[in-house]
Amino acid sequence: MKKNFKMLFLISLLAVAGSIIIATGQAEASTLYRGYNPNTGEHLYTQNSNEIPSIVKFGWKNEGLAWSAPDKGIAVYRLFNPNNGGDHFYTLNTNERDHLKKSGWRYEGISWFSGGTVPVYRLYNPNAKSGTHHYTVLASERDVLKRAGWRDEGIGFYANKLVPEGSWVKAFEAKLYAQYKVTTQKYEYIGNNSWEVWVNEYNTGNQSYVTVNSATGNFHG
């Protein structure tokens, strides 16, 4: 989650396929959030937790957490193409950034920083007119898209491993212990606010003991 230090946001309102995007102009160390526009196929990745609720009002879907960005490292630039129904693009390559700017893309500044050990995979859909690029830390999601015809463009940048944070963690662990008398050992994020959880009392190998949704607090074995 966001660290407790002051941060100024440069807010710009952009009309994108009937929605409004709030663009941040300065990066901070925080969790990145992910939104999806089912009308254009576009994904939006942002550190601004207020940006996702804003676009959900216009038909976007909240897909939860994306990854964790460090507070320093190599700058990741965010660009927007206003000419194809709405499309955001993220890159740490200054040559790529400058080429897109010359091609009519709108430069929206530094979104976050690349750093850490977790690869963020970049994929390209040659058949899409908008939402042409996708970014994910989940190898399983990358492989599904590759089988669907997306082109694997390798590692776009790096991130930190997501760790469970917030009041939901304490509430979930208390409920888990009350019902099953087990304590958590590790968490693995699998997308859409869902976490696989292993416990100390049972050796389940590669299979998690339960899966919990951080948005609702619901869990199942």
**Angle ∠(11,13,133) on CA atoms, nearest 5:** 100
Report the C-alpha gap between 51 and 24 in whole angstroms.
Answer: 9
Strand ranges inside 40-183, DSSP E: 42-46, 61-69, 74-81, 87-91, 106-114, 118-124, 133-136, 151-159
pLDDT confidence of residue 151: 96
Asked whether residue 16 carries a pLDDT value surpassing 80, the answer given is no
In whole numbers, what is the pLDDT of the chain averaged over residues? Answer: 86
74 Cβ partners below 8 Å, 6+ apart? 92, 113, 114, 115, 157
Higher-pLDDT residue of 18 and 217 is: 217
Cβ atoms of 44 and 37 closer than 8 Å = yes
Side-chain-facing half-sphere of 80: CA atoms under 13 Å: 22
Per-residue pLDDT tens digits for 34-60? 999 998 888 999 998 889 999 999 999
pLDDT confidence of residue 173: 98
Per-residue pLDDT tens digits for 156-175? 999 999 999 999 999 999 99
Which pLDDT band, with edges at 50, 70 and 90, does 132 fall under?
A: confident
Which pLDDT band, with edges at 50, 70 and 90, does 194 fall under?
A: very high
Q: What DSSP state is assigned to residue 195?
A: E
Model-level pTM? 0.81
Q: Any idea where the domains of the chain sit in the sequence? A: 13-116, 167-220
Per-residue pLDDT tens digits for 135-157? 999 999 999 999 999 999 999 99
pLDDT confidence of residue 8: 26
The one-letter amino acid code at 87 reads: D
What is the number of H-type helices and E-type strands within the chain?
A: 4, 15
Neighbours of 75 (CB within 10 A): 17
pLDDT confidence of residue 29: 53
182, 184, 190, 193: CA torsion to nearest 10: 90
Per-residue pLDDT tens digits for 65-113? 999 999 999 999 999 998 876 789 999 999 999 999 999 999 999 999 9
Asked whether residue 30 carries a pLDDT value surpassing 90, the answer given is no
pLDDT confidence of residue 13: 32
The length of the chain is 221
